Amino acid sequence: MCHVLVIEDDFLIADHIIQLIERAGGTSFDQAASQEEAIDAARLRPPSIIMSDVNLSAGTGPAAVEAIILEHGPTPVIFVTGTREACHVSWPSMVVLDKPINEQALIAAFQSLAPA
């Protein structure tokens, strides 16, 4: 089972990502629109993989991801952002993809990082 945490403050983009990841093998999903919501969601159900925007309406994706990783251990991360230059983080299992979303690239990144 592959549980995915989608951190995205635009509901339509989050929904699109969830649809793509479901096609690619994601089996369950939590959605968070802010840094705090993401951290709380991960506490309730630690994700197998995180899909995150960088800039959120409240907080940032990288700050949420860092807090989640510190609390739950190494977790693969895919940042999907329109502001690649604002993504100043680096983890071993991390990919940064640009918006607008390239569906094939997102699915390929997910399939390469998601636990089997």
Taking only the tens place, the pLDDT of each residue in 81-96 is: 988 777 777 777 899 9
pLDDT of residue 104: 97
Full domain range(s) for residue 31: 3-113
Task: Answer for the pair 65, 41: CB distance below 8 angstroms, yes or no.
Answer: no
Number of domains the chain is built from: 1
pLDDT of residue 92: 73
The CATH number of residue 72's host domain is 3.40.50.2300
pTM: 0.94
**Distances 87 to 1, 3, 6, 17 between C-alpha atoms, Å:** 29, 23, 17, 19
pLDDT digits (tens, 9 = 90+) for 6-62: 999 999 999 999 999 999 999 999 999 999 999 999 999 999 999 999 999 999 999
- Distance between CA 19 and CA 111 in Å, rounded? 14
